[in-house]
Structures are given as C-alpha cells and as structure tokens.
Structure 1
Amino acid sequence: MEHFDFIEMKVPAKAEYVGVIRLSISGIASRMGFSYDAIEDLKVAISEAATNVVAHAYESNGSGELNIGFGVYDNRLEIMVSDQGESFRFDEIKNRIGPVSAKEEVKPISQMREGGFGLFLINALMDKVEINNEYGVIVLMTKYLDETEVELSDQIQTK
C-alpha cells in the first residue's frame, strides 16, 4: 500500500468556515511544493465543493457538519469533501445544472443554472473528480504535482 499522510477537518457547514478551509489547503499544498497557480486552483475547487455543502446539504434541518480530508502523497493531493446531508441523483441533475465535462456543449455563464458553474470549475481545475452520493455526498478531487501523471479522463466519475 502506498504511504500517505491523512489530515482531517470537521467544521460547521456555514459560509464563514469556507475561508478556514481555503487557508488549510493553501498551507498543505504550499508545503507539498505546488505552484502558486496550482494552489489557487485548489482553493477555488475546494471552495466550490464546500459552498455546495453549505448551500444545499442541510436545507431540511438547517445545520450540519462539513468533513474535509486531505490525502498527502508524494506525487499528489487528494481532497475529500463530504457531508451527511440529503443525497442527490447525480445522473438526473447533471443535465439540469449545466456542463461538467469538456465534451459537453459549453453554455454561456449567463445561461447556466445555479450550481452548474461550480461543478464545471471543479472539473476544469482538478485532475480527477469522483462523486459518491449513496449517503450524503462525497466529492473526491485529485491534483497531481507533476502534470504528466494526470489520467486521460475529462469525465466526473460517480459511484
């Protein structure tokens, strides 16, 4: 098994904690040796995923937690953003929220439905994106230190 360090955070699913998450990923990515541009990409992607939890995961009961895990490997950073809120059928809402893949027809931002641009950004900025929504939602994002290790896939994978 490949060795990695795991860092875990649990914060209230509130907008005021998204900045704390951004600072955390900035420090971790900087320590790993990511470029300034890659760090900015990571901050935007994790902000989008966290903001989605804040805005949508706990609508029915009004409060909950946002879990963030960082898998620190020699060649990559894996980020897991999860909640235990209401799950969604990704395949069903994918068509409703806008493009998430470079192969899909890109609409002007003004024509995108709420949430579509966030998923599009996450997919565009990260090297690999997987979503599991069996209970709550888990977004697993991967960013490689060396771009030559990027998998040849532009699809968000769902489980």
Structure 2
Amino acid sequence: MNQSFDYIELKIPAKPEFVSVMRLTLSGIANRMGFDYEEIEDLKIAISEACTNAVQHAYKNNDHGEVIVGFGLYGNRLEVMVADNGKSFDFLSARQGIGRYEENNEVEFLREGGLGLYLIESLMDEVRIHNNEGVTVFMIKYLDGERVERNAKKIST
C-alpha cells in the first residue's frame, strides 16, 4: 500500500465558534479529493460532532483549551484526527497508537449528547478513539470506488 500522503494540521481555540472553521476546511479538502456532495456533508457532520465534543472536553479543566485537527490526504481515503489535548502529533505514529475503543470504556464525552458517537460511526467508514491526556478521535472516509473494492475483497476472501 502506498503510504504517500499530504498532511494538513490546524490548531483552533477550544471555542464553539471555531468549529465552523474546521467544517469549511474539511469541505475544501474533501472537494479537492473528489468526494461527492453527500459524502462531504456526512464528513462535515462527523467532524462537527468530534470537534464540538473536543471543545466541551477541553474546556472542562482549562479555559484556554485547544483542539488539534490533522488531515491525512491519501489517494483513496481521507483520514481525520481530532485531539483535545492541544498538542501537535506525528500523524502516522499517533494513528498507530489509537486502538478500537471498548464499549465499556468511559467515552462519556461522545455519549453526553446522545448521538455524537452514533453519528460519527454511521457517517465514517472507520472510527477509533483514544482516551489518554485528552481524547483523540481518528476517522477514515474512503473515496466511493475504493470503499466498494475494499468491501468486495473482504467478502470474496
């Protein structure tokens, strides 16, 4: 698998009014990558949920919290990482350290609104969560043709 990718990282103040900046940034990136209108809308909802929850979580103990959003642009997919600890990350290393969350894990910040985690999981192709020195949500959305091919390989093997 080709690991060549472009990487974009943004740091925003953990304030609700900056979530729209992430939505606009994501919209531009996804459009450039060739996602269709409905997929872009799904992506915007998922990132809004992750960022809103990160903003709420970052503000619990710190009035000056920050949210980092990293975008990995691959030929066949978009990978998005949202972290509320305010620290930049080595995208490849960070995503390897994020495992599948356990149902009994305390990921209350995504459950408080009731639909946050459900929405993110239903709109993205893969979701992983890491809860350590803050919460990191890692999401993948495949370009349409790639997802079909990937699912076909799973079924045929």
Considering the TM-score relative to the shorter chain, is it more than 0.5? yes
Aligned-residue offset at 1:116:
2.8
- Unmatched 5+ stretches in structure 2: 87-101
Aligned-residue offset at 1:142:
0.1
Is structure 2 residue 106 aligned with structure 1 residue 93?
yes
Q: Decide whether the 8 Å contact of 1:97 with 1:116 is kept in 2.
A: no
Aligned-residue offset at 1:50:
0.3
Q: Decide whether the 8 Å contact of 2:53 with 2:109 is kept in 1.
A: no
Equivalent in 115, 127, 130 of residue 129 of structure 1: 127
Structure 1 residues 143-158: aligned runs within 5 Å: 143-146=141-144, 147-148=147-148, 149=150
User: Partners of 1:83 and 1:90 in 2: how far apart?
Assistant: 21
Q: Decide whether the 8 Å contact of 2:125 with 2:141 is kept in 1.
A: yes
Bigger mean CA offset, 60-69 vs 43-52: 60-69
Which residue identity does 1:93 align to in structure 2?
A: E
TM-score, normalising length: structure 1:
0.76
Secondary structure at the counterpart of residue 83 of structure 2 = strand
Secondary structure at the counterpart of residue 116 of structure 1 = coil
Aligned-residue offset at 1:55:
1.4
Which residue identity does 1:69 align to in structure 2?
A: G
User: Partners of 2:30 and 2:142 in 1: how far apart?
Assistant: 11
Aligned length: 134
Bigger mean CA offset, 32-41 vs 76-85: 76-85
Structure 1 residues 1-159: aligned runs within 5 Å: 2-84=3-85, 91-93=104-106, 114-146=112-144, 147-148=147-148, 149=150
Secondary structure at the counterpart of residue 66 of structure 1 = strand
TM-score, normalising length: structure 2:
0.77
Q: Decide whether the 8 Å contact of 1:65 with 1:83 is kept in 2.
A: yes
User: Partners of 2:122 and 2:58 in 1: how far apart?
Assistant: 23
Which residue identity does 2:59 align to in structure 1?
A: Y
Which residue identity does 2:120 align to in structure 1?
A: I
Q: Decide whether the 8 Å contact of 1:50 with 1:66 is kept in 2.
A: yes
Which residue identity does 2:116 align to in structure 1?
A: G
Identity %: 56
- Unmatched 5+ stretches in structure 1: 99-112, 153-159
User: Partners of 1:90 and 1:50 in 2: how far apart?
Assistant: 21
Which residue identity does 2:58 align to in structure 1?
A: A
Aligned-residue offset at 1:97:
7.9
Structure-1 residue corresponding to 2:91: none
Alignment RMSD (CA, Å)? 2.4
Bigger mean CA offset, 10-19 vs 50-59: 50-59
